[in-house]
Amino acid sequence: MDPRFDVELISVTKRYGATLAVDGISLRIPRASYTCLLGPSGCGKTTTLRMIAGHEAISDGDILIDDKNVSLLPPAARGTAMMFQSYALFPHLNCLDNVAFSLKMRGIAKAERHKAAREFLDLVHLGDYAMRLPSQLSGGQQQRVALARALITRPKVLLLDEPLSALDPFLRIKVREELKRLQRELEITFIHVTHSQDEAMALADLMVVMEDGHIRQAGPPREIFEKPVNPFIARFIGGHNVMMSDQGPIAIRADRCRLGVASDGPHVKGRVTVVEYQGTMVRVAIATDPGDEVSALVPDGLFHEQPVQPGDAATLVWLDRDVHWMANA
């Protein structure tokens, strides 16, 4: 295994009877990086995470962590820790003892494990909450206690299964900032499963988009957003208009489109279906004459100079340089 990578999946497959959940995927995850696995429900992302953790046995292939083949090892021997979506805190234990629990199971003395637990509670900015029970914490605070509990074992790889999904939108942004800060400070690899494109783009060094048990595209978020390899990726990541031309499918970013007239250049005509105010931008959705659904993100001031409303005829225009050509599949 290349020492530049903490985790490597080699033709990893998972079958449940006749159902193929993950189909021969291969992936290299760079050392001390933040990787997000995302895709629609049933794409295989959580199964992949659980196979890395050892909570699911692989059907074929190999999983390497820190230069060691761990495919047949139990979870505790892999150098990983997993943070579950439900947090799974012990309701009868205070924060300090929740965080220290795994050290207790290893036979570490109370004073030593409590000292370590206080350090990790401080790391997640909850040092003053050590004596509180989980029921006395907010959802975001519970999430951070669960994170401290996972980190106290000093894993080589931290696995996170949709850790932000139960939080409200404002708190979700604050906690994801904390996750990125911790990953950078601790310099360990985080592998994070999410269904949120925004979350993955905000957090990931490596973004891995899955569909039907396959990895369809993996790369830095900007690369995937700028150059989706096929219409599925463009539609799933969002922010693109996907259309068919005479030579194949094309993607054009909605923020690179505008409302204009046919003489402005490449264009499609249709009628406005939705006008959605988004603060600095206004999203204008259009049903085109060929039957596509497209949209433009128009700066707020520009929109209000020439507003449109649902039912109005509209022409979506763009520049040739903003067209991205894709494969059909």
In CATH, what number is assigned to the domain containing residue 267? 2.40.50.140
Q: Are residues 285 and 190 in the same domain?
A: no
Q: Are residues 289 and 180 in the same domain?
A: no
pLDDT value at residue 169: 84
pLDDT value at residue 171: 83
pLDDT value at residue 329: 59
* pTM, two decimal places: 0.90
> Does some domain include residue 181?
yes
Q: Are residues 43 and 162 in the same domain?
A: yes
Which residue numbers in the chain have pLDDT < 50?
none
> Does some domain include residue 220?
yes
pLDDT value at residue 2: 61
Q: Are residues 253 and 125 in the same domain?
A: no
> Does some domain include residue 43?
yes
Q: Which of 193, 226, 259 is the last residue of a domain?
A: 226
Q: Are residues 202 and 251 in the same domain?
A: no
Tell me whether strands 68-69 and 80-83 are parallel, antiparallel or unpaired. unpaired
Q: Spell out the SS3 assignment of the chain.
A: CCCCEEEEEEEEEEEECCEEEEEEEEEEEECCCEEEEECCCCCCHHHHHHHHHCCCCCCEEEEEECCEECCCCCHHHCCEEEECCCCCCCCCCCHHHHHHHHHHHCCCCHHHHHHHHHHHHHHCCCHHHCCCCHHHCCHHHHHHHHHHHHHCCCCCEEEEECCCCCCCHHHHHHHHHHHHHHHHHHCCEEEEEECCHHHHHHHCCEEEEEECCEEEEEECHHHHHHCCCCHHHHHHHCCEEEEEECCEEEEEEHHHCEECCHHHCCEEEEEEEEEEECCCEEEEEEEECCCCEEEEEEEHHHHHHCCCCCCCEEEEECCHHHCEECCCC
> Does some domain include residue 234?
no
> Does some domain include residue 215?
yes
Domain coverage including residue 296 = 241-325
The structural domain count of the chain equals 2
Q: Indicate which CATH number applies to the domain containing 160.
A: 3.40.50.300
The span from the CA of 97 to the CA of 133, in Å, is 10
Q: Are residues 130 and 13 in the same domain?
A: yes
